[in-house]
């Protein structure tokens, strides 16, 4: 075990103590992946069989890197058979083994977000609902949040609290959409991403013998990025570790930033309550960043109340102070940031890939892109359309999916008339109607055309039968041949090759190249699958594609370019130089978070994540005016700049004053005091509150600055309060209605849930 000598004292302690529950708090850049990797290597070197170890990550990339490093430490043979991968990949593997118990086949397919949106869109149309009221994206978000909290469609409809909130948001039919969505998924023998977790929970709940089997199987469980786990993931981990109690979770509460996805910071904060006999290990040395960056990040995160105390430090060089850029407009901000990058790249001989520009919202990227283009600086947008989301790739993947699972409705609809084979929308709609009438899949209707022959003319019947025979041929081959051979057959026989060959435009050439690139990927998979312990069949390849994450689809060819991304997307990454843009009140922190203490703490954690992505240099920028909602508005620097110890800053900073962010009668560090006798004037349009997370608010809990929802007037901001007890009134600004004074005991106001 010589490799233990490669660790510092704290890391070594976390690696060596393998028995019982353990919480490893790993500050930014402190080597948490290293600790996880070496801990697994240590278990293997003690003779623990690899198949007894379960390691859960959030990206396939992290799992692959850990697997590779473990193999180097203890040998590839010793590391083989580890159960290591993302939550979704591991639990989909378990579900395939146990699918029949839940009423699925082992060949179920996995819907991506776009497939789910398309299905919801179709259901909204079938139910004759207004797609402007029931936006597919919002509905999917609501369903996803329900699943992550283990609320099934049936439970959703039976919850008066949930349905009341939906009704208040004027979306009373979400429960019905959710019911139809799950029914259609079952008919299609498909699961979405959230189902992989929900169905695993249901499996362990309803089949205790199955839970017992996996409890016995996994003697040691390790979890990466534990602060990002949702309730569903938390419960699975808790159940699986009940027998042996050898659970090691690694994370950083200061980097919990995904509550909008259902992540719960409580999971890591309350670990000691769940496992009273736990051991705590703190990794506090940052190996990534300069001392200045680390201390600046400490000075801001210390303002949060909900956290596990730690003092991150660095023994690296002191480094430069954090530079502050002040621009008169968002357009000028773009040019200032770009000029700074240009100077550093040319005068200090730095590569463009050494720079990252981070922003709070995707909408900020447009101006930054324009500025980069004018300077001829190459850039890439991280998290843009991935290779597997391109139309031609989605089309071909739909053929693959239908060959593996003929009940897959979204794949069926996508390719039944692609390439064009004379099967019109009327015919497809008829098949869908018959399928829904009999609660079967569209494929089942296709296989029983003789029973509904009167619904179609002879020409349509011929074309439909030809399509069925084509897919049956592909399905047969997919069972017998490897993925690459089947894929080549499908590309040739489906007509896709002929369709693309007729398009000689640059776009058409690009589409053909993309198809070839996909075939190259399948060939590589087919040649290496067995060596890595996987089947070489098409179904296995499809599962790998379905479970890819954003970081897994990054193209290695995008080498020397400036990276643009949201701060959320930047988590887990690092760059020599980081630019954090739009550091303004109502943008960062976001407007809807400013009056909610818990939401504000998460915004501060997000700011901490942004700072700690940098190795050498941080530049922060803000504009004094910004174009928003069709008009130019005045802005002021974010409170987060004032919260950083000024010793670490370089640039103009307005005088700091100790203020409470929730006391609207105090003086802002960047703003002249408002007369206490006047209610603040509010003219900026308010963003709509997401109706998926609403709960009633008590009159005594209402304070100035809150963004609330009124069933009649919509989203409003509390400007001031007057009166006491039952006579308490709130003066509120609403986008459409302007200023209103409401008697709170009758107002029926709602707030967004945390």
Rounded Cα distance between 80 and 74, Å, is: 10
Rounded to 10 deg, the angle between the 193-206 and 87-98 helix axes is 50
Give the strands of the sheet with 379-381, arranged side by side.
Answer: 379-381, 562-566, 355-359, 575-580, 614-623, 322-327, 649-650
Rounded Cα distance between 264 and 270, Å, is: 10
Contacts of 615 (CB under 8 A, 6+ apart): 288, 289, 290, 574, 575, 576, 577
Indicate the DSSP class of residue 584: B
Phi then psi dihedrals of residue 380, to 5 deg: -135, 145
Contacts of 196 (CB under 8 A, 6+ apart): 87, 88, 91, 92, 95, 110
CB atoms within 10 A of CB 577: 22
Indicate the DSSP class of residue 654: P
How many residues can be counted in the chain? 754
CB 734 within 8 A of CB 697: no
Q: Is 225 a catalytic residue?
A: yes
Rounded Cα distance between 63 and 386, Å, is: 20
Q: Kind and range of the H or E element at 89?
A: helix 87-98
Q: Which two tokens stand for residue 222?
A: 């390790």
Q: Is 303 a catalytic residue?
A: no
Identified catalytic residue from 166, 192, 225, 410:
225
Identified catalytic residue from 233, 255, 427, 581:
255
CB 223 within 8 A of CB 537: no
Identified catalytic residue from 11, 32, 69, 586:
32
Tell which phi-psi region holds residue 688, choosing left (phi > 0), alpha (psi between -120 and 50) or beta. beta
Rounded Cα distance between 178 and 155, Å, is: 11
Q: Which two tokens stand for residue 241?
A: 């570790």
Rounded Cα distance between 383 and 375, Å, is: 23
Identified catalytic residue from 33, 292, 436, 715:
33
3-state secondary structure of 515: helix
Q: What share of the chain is helix, strand, coil (3-state, %, to 5)?
A: 50, 15, 35
Identified catalytic residue from 98, 115, 224, 615:
224
- DSSP for 290-322 reads -HHHHHHHHHHHTT-SSS-----B--S---PPE
CB 370 within 8 A of CB 627: no
Identified catalytic residue from 184, 414, 613, 639:
613
Q: Rg for the chain (alpha carbons), in Å?
A: 28
3-state secondary structure of 25: strand
3-state secondary structure of 692: coil
Rounded Cα distance between 32 and 59, Å, is: 15
Handedness of CA 210, 53, 86, 544 (dihedral sign): negative
Rounded Cα distance between 455 and 646, Å, is: 76
Closest CA to 543 of 470, 485, 483: 483
What's the longest Cα–Cα distance across the chain?
82
Q: Which two tokens stand for residue 321?
A: 């102070």
Q: Is 200 a catalytic residue?
A: no
CB 130 within 8 A of CB 172: no
Q: Is 190 a catalytic residue?
A: no
CB atoms within 10 A of CB 233: 25
Rounded Cα distance between 193 and 199, Å, is: 10
CB 277 within 8 A of CB 247: no
Query: For the chain, first and last CA: distance in Å?
Result: 46
| Positions marked active-site | 32-33, 224-225, 255, 613
């Amino acid at each position: 075990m010589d490799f233990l000598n490669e660790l510092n004292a704290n890391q070594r302690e976390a690696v060596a103590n393998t028995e019982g529950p353990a919480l490893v708090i790993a500050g930014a850049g402190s080597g948490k992946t290293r600790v996880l990797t070496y801990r697994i290597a240590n278990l293997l070197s003690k003779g623990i069989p690899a198949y007894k170890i379960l390691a859960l990550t959030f990206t396939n990339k992290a799992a692959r890197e850990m697997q590779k490093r473990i193999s180097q430490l203890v040998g590839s043979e010793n590391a083989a058979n580890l159960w290591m991968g993302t939550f979704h990949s591991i639990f989909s593997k378990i579900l395939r083994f146990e699918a029949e118990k839940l009423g699925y086949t082992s060949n179920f397919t996995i819907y991506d977000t776009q497939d789910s949106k398309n299905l919801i869109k179709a259901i909204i149309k079938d139910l004759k609902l207004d797609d402007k009221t029931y936006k597919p994206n919002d509905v999917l978000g609501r369903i996803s949040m329900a699943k992550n909290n283990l609320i099934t469609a049936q439970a959703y409809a039976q919850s008066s609290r949930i349905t009341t909130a939906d009704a208040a948001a004027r979306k009373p039919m979400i429960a019905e959409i959710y019911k139809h969505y799950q029914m259609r998924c079952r008919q299609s023998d498909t699961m979405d991403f959230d189902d992989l977790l929900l169905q695993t929970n249901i499996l362990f709940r309803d089949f205790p013998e199955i839970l017992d089997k996996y409890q016995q199987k996994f003697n040691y469980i390790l979890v990466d990025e534990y602060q990002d786990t949702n309730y569903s993931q938390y419960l699975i981990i808790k159940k699986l570790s009940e027998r042996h109690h050898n659970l090691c979770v690694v994370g950083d509460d200061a980097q919990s930033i995904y509550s909008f996805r259902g992540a719960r910071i409580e999971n890591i904060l309350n670990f000691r309550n769940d496992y009273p006999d736990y051991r705590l290990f703190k990794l506090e040395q940052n190996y990534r960043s300069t001392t200045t960056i680390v201390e600046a990040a400490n000075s801001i995160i210390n303002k949060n109340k909900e956290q596990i105390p730690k003092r991150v430090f660095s023994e690296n060089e002191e480094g430069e102070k954090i530079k502050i850029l002040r621009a008169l407009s968002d357009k000028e901000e773009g040019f200032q940031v770009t000029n700074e990058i240009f100077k550093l790249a040319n005068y200090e001989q730095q590569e463009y890939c050494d720079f990252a520009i981070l922003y709070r919202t995707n909408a900020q990227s447009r101006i930054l892109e324009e500025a980069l283009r004018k300077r001829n600086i190459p850039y890439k947008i991280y998290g843009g359309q991935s290779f597997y989301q391109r139309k031609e790739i989605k089309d071909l993947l739909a053929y693959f999916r239908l060959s593996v699972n003929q009940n897959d409705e979204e794949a069926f609809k996508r390719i039944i008339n692609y390439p064009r084979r004379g099967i019109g929308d009327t015919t497809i709609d008829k098949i869908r109607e018959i399928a829904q009438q009999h609660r079967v899949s569209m494929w089942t209707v296709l296989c029983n055309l003789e029973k509904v022959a009167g619904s179609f003319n002879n020409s349509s019947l011929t074309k439909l039968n030809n399509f069925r025979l084509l897919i049956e041929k592909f399905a047969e081959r997919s069972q017998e041949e490897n993925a690459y051979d089947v894929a080549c057959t499908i590309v040739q026989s489906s007509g896709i090759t002929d369709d693309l060959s007729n398009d000689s435009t640059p776009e058409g050439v690009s589409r053909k190249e993309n198809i070839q690139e996909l075939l190259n990927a399948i060939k590589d998979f087919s040649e290496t699958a067995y060596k890595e312990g996987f089947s070489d069949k098409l179904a296995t390849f499809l599962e790998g594609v379905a479970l890819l994450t954003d970081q897994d689809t990054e193209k290695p060819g995008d080498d020397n370019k400036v990276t643009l991304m949201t701060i959320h997307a930047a988590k887990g990454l690092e760059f020599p130089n980081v630019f954090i843009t739009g550091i303004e009140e109502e943008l960062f922190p976001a407007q809807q978070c400013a009056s909610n203490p818990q939401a504000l703490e998460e915004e501060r954690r997000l700011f901490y994540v942004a700072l700690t992505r940098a190795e050498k240099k941080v530049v922060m920028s803000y504009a004094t005016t910004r174009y928003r909602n069709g008009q130019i508005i005045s802005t002021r620097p974010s409170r987060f700049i004032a919260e950083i110890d000024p010793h670490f800053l370089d640039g103009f900073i307005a005088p700091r004053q100790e203020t409470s962010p929730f006391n609207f009668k105090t003086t802002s560090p960047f703003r002249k005091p408002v007369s206490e006798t006047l209610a603040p004037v509010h003219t900026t349009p308010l963003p709509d509150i997401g109706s998926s997370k609403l709960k009633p608010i008590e009159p005594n809990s209402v304070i100035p600055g809150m963004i609330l929802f009124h069933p009649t007037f919509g989203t409003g901001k509390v400007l001031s309060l007057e009166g006491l007890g039952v006579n308490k009134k709130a003066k509120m600004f609403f986008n459409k209605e302007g200023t209103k004074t409401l008697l709170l005991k009758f107002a029926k106001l709602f707030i967004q849930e945390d």
